[in-house]
């Protein structure tokens, strides 16, 4: 075990290298891995236009136990293969320490989802690893609580943390969540970690993903985490908000243009 940790440490990823200040990075991929073809096609497309990190869910946190729960280990393998073949890194959600070892075998970056933002036991576990952790803000959590959640990780030794603003619960019902744009500059003052934004989940529908993404870039986000699917209308989850390849290509071009305009 100790040996493995050392091995991993020797090629430890640094989040500030992945998302340097002044550059705009992208994490993209489907909500959930659904098939070999789907993830291969997506990875090939994304790497082709320069995206370096592939996302995709294998263990899915679903509000209802009746919904599609993901392909599990099979999904991890498919996504890991697709990422490697296309020279990409891979990030996926880990929902419990039960799966932590398995997910760690395949993933380059471990995602803690919004619903586990204050799952302190899980935060402590990933805090002991030598692997970057991407922590999403709980939709019911304040910025201060989100910051404190990151400290539950760093206090255990792991300083390789990426924070992702993804919208909070408000009374507004036109969108799935209300993206809290101010969280970007506020968090940038509080922590040395990359601050990313996921515009897909607050948007809830495709047409709103791009304006929210561009807003995040203009507000100083280090990167964007976006759901992309070869055929969103037939996706097994989040079908309304996943972008097509063309939609993502357009968004990326405009986002880079906005990022450029800030210099």
Encoded tokens for 22 = 């002044």
Q: Which stretch binds a second copy (CB under 8 A): 3-11, 15-23, 41-49, 255-263?
A: 255-263
d(CA 109, CA 89): 8
Q: Of the candidates 216, 225, 226, 228, which one interacts with a second copy according to CB under 8 A?
A: 216
**Helix 245-261 × helix 206-218 angle, to 10°:** 20
Question: Judged by CB under 8 A, which of 17, 87, 174, 246 binds a second copy?
Answer: 174
Cβ atoms 117, 97 nearer than 8 A = no
Contact with a second copy (CB under 8 A) among 54, 79, 95, 129: 95
Smallest separation (angstroms) from a second copy to the CB of 83: 24
Does position 7 interact with a second copy (CB under 8 A)? The reply is no
Gyration radius (Cα) of the chain, Å: 17
Q: Is 208 in the site for a second copy (CB under 8 A)?
A: yes
Question: Within the chain, where are the H helices?
Answer: 2-10, 15-18, 36-48, 73-85, 97-106, 120-127, 143-154, 183-190, 200-203, 206-218, 245-261
Q: Could you say which of 7, 14, 74, 142 contacts a second copy (CB under 8 A)? A: 142
Residue ranges binding a second copy (CB under 8 A)? 61-65, 95-99, 115-116, 118-122, 138-145, 148, 151-152, 155, 168-175, 178-186, 202-203, 207-208, 211-212, 214-220, 254, 257-258, 260-262
């Amino acid at each position: 075990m100790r040996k493995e940790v050392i091995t991993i440490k020797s090629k430890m990823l640094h989040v500030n290298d992945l998302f340097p200040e002044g550059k705009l990075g992208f994490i993209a991929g489907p909500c959930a891995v659904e098939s070999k073809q789907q993830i291969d096609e997506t990875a090939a497309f994304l790497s082709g236009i320069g995206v370096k990190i592939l996302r995709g869910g294998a263990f899915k946190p679903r509000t209802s136990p009746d919904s599609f729960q993901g392909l599990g280990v099979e999904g991890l393998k498919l996504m890991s293969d697709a990422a490697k073949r296309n020279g990409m890194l891979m990030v996926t959600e880990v929902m419990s320490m039960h799966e932590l070892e398995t997910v760690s075998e395949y993933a380059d970056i471990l995602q803690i989802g919004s619903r586990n933002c204050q799952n302190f036991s899980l935060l402590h576990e990933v805090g002991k690893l030598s692997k970057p952790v991407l922590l999403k803000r709980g939709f019911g959590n304040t910025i201060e609580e989100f910051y404190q959640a990151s400290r539950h990780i760093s206090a255990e030794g792991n300083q390789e943390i990426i924070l992702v603003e993804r919208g909070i619960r408000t009374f507004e019902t036109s969108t799935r969540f209300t993206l809290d744009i101010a969280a970007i500059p506020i968090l940038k003052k509080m922590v040395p970690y990359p601050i990313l934004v996921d515009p897909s989940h607050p948007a809830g529908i495709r047409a709103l993903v791009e304006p929210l993404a561009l807003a995040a870039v203009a507000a100083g986000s280090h990167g964007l985490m976006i759901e992309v699917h070869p055929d969103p209308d037939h996706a097994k989850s989040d079908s309304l908000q996943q972008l097509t390849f063309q939609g993502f290509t357009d968004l990326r071009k405009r986002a880079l243009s906005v990022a450029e305009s800030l210099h």
